Amino acid sequence: MQPVPIDAAVDAAPDAPPDAPPIPVGDLDNAKRLYGQMACNSCHTITGEVRVGPTWLGLWGTDEKLEDGRVAHVDAAYIRKSIVEPLADVVAGYPHAMPSYAQSLSDADIDDLVALIYSLRSQP
């Protein structure tokens, strides 16, 4: 599969429906930089391709079955928790491979990544 430039993936994301919850606010340019700089792209794709971790394309708003049988709804709180406490809610079928970024990313950086993942959501 040919890699999709991150700008093209973000630009192709649908607009939110009028009854959608608040849109996460963040600096998408910084998030795109972090996606590469923090090596998010080595485990998470923006194309739908599965790697070590779930793809970010269409992830927002889904319900993910966790390895312990619970189901987690993917929203800002879930994504934030997954970044700072990645072993708290491991998606079924994926390894315990993600490190915590609690000490590596600022709250603003995490907000930016949340906004990026939101921008890659599926059409309603």
Query: Per-block average pLDDT, block size 10, for the chain (124 residues)?
Result: 51 50 84 97 94 95 96 96 96 95 96 96 74
Q: Does domain 6-10+24-119 have CATH number 3.40.50.1820?
A: no
Determine the pLDDT at residue 19.
54
Determine the pLDDT at residue 24.
85
Positive/negative CA dihedral, 108, 112, 29, 54:
positive
Determine the pLDDT at residue 21.
55
Determine the pLDDT at residue 23.
77
- Please state the pTM of the whole predicted model: 0.81
Sorted by where each begins, the domain ranges of the chain are 6-10+24-119
Integer angstrom CA distances of residue 4 from 10, 13, 31, 57: 10, 13, 16, 11
State how far the Cα of 123 lies from the Cα of 13, in Å rounded to an integer: 8
